[in-house]
A and B are shown apart, each in its own frame.
Chain A
Amino acid sequence: MSEKTIICRCEDLSVEEIRDWIDKGYRSFDEIKRISRIGMGACQGRTCRRHLVMELARASGKDPSEIDLATFRPPTKPINFGAIAGVDQDA
Chain B
Amino acid sequence: MRKTADVVIIGGGSLGCSTAYNLARFGVDKIVVLEKGYICGGSTGRCAAGIRQQWGTEMNCLISRYSIKHFEVMNEELAYDGDVEFIQNGYMMVTYSDAEAAMLKNNLILHKKLGIPVQFLSIEDVKEIVPAINTERIVASTICMEDGQANPFKVTDAYFRAAERMGVEFNTYTEVTGFQVQGGRIEKVITNQGEISAPVVINATGPYAKFISQMLGHELPVEPERHQIVVTEPLEPFLKPMLVNFHHKTYCQQVVNGSMLIGFGDADEPKGINYNCSWQFLKNLSEKIIEQIPIMKNVNIIRQWAGHYGISPDGQPVLGPVPEVEGYFLALGCGKGFMLSPMIGELIAQCVTGRETTLPIDILSIDRFKKGELIVEPAVV
Query: A-side interface residues toward B, CB under 8 Å?
Result: 28, 30-31, 34-35, 37, 40-42, 44, 71, 73-75, 78-82, 84-85, 87-90
Contacts and interface: CB of A to CB of B under 8 A. Distances in A.
A81 B290 contact: yes
B246 interface: no
If over half of A's interface residues share one DSSP class (helix, strand or loop), that class is named, otherwise mixed; here it is: loop
Nearest to A34: B153
A75 B301 contact: yes
20 contacts: A31-B39, A34-B41, A34-B153, A35-B153, A35-B154, A37-B257, A42-B234, A73-B277, A73-B303, A73-B305, A74-B279, A75-B303, A75-B304, A81-B296, A81-B297, A81-B301, A85-B286, A85-B297, A87-B297, A89-B297
Interface of B: 38-41, 45, 153-154, 157, 231, 233-234, 257, 275, 277, 279, 282-283, 285-287, 289-290, 296-305
A90 B234 contact: no
B283 A84 contact: yes
A78 B38 contact: no
A80 B298 contact: yes
A89 B231 CA distance: 19
Contact of B282 (A34, A84, A88, A90): A84
B38 A74 contact: no
Residue from A35, A79, A89 having most chain B Cβ neighbours under 10 A: A35
B157 A44 contact: no
Nearest to B38: A31
B45 A34 contact: yes
A70 B92 CA distance: 34
B304 A81 contact: no
Given A34-B41, A74-B277, 11 more contacts: A42-B234, A44-B302, A44-B303, A71-B305, A74-B279, A78-B301, A80-B299, A80-B300, A82-B298, A84-B282, A89-B297
Contacts of B153: 34-35
A30 B282 CA distance: 24
B286 A78 contact: no
Contacts of B302: 41-42, 44, 75, 78
A88 B38 CA distance: 43
A79 B304 contact: no
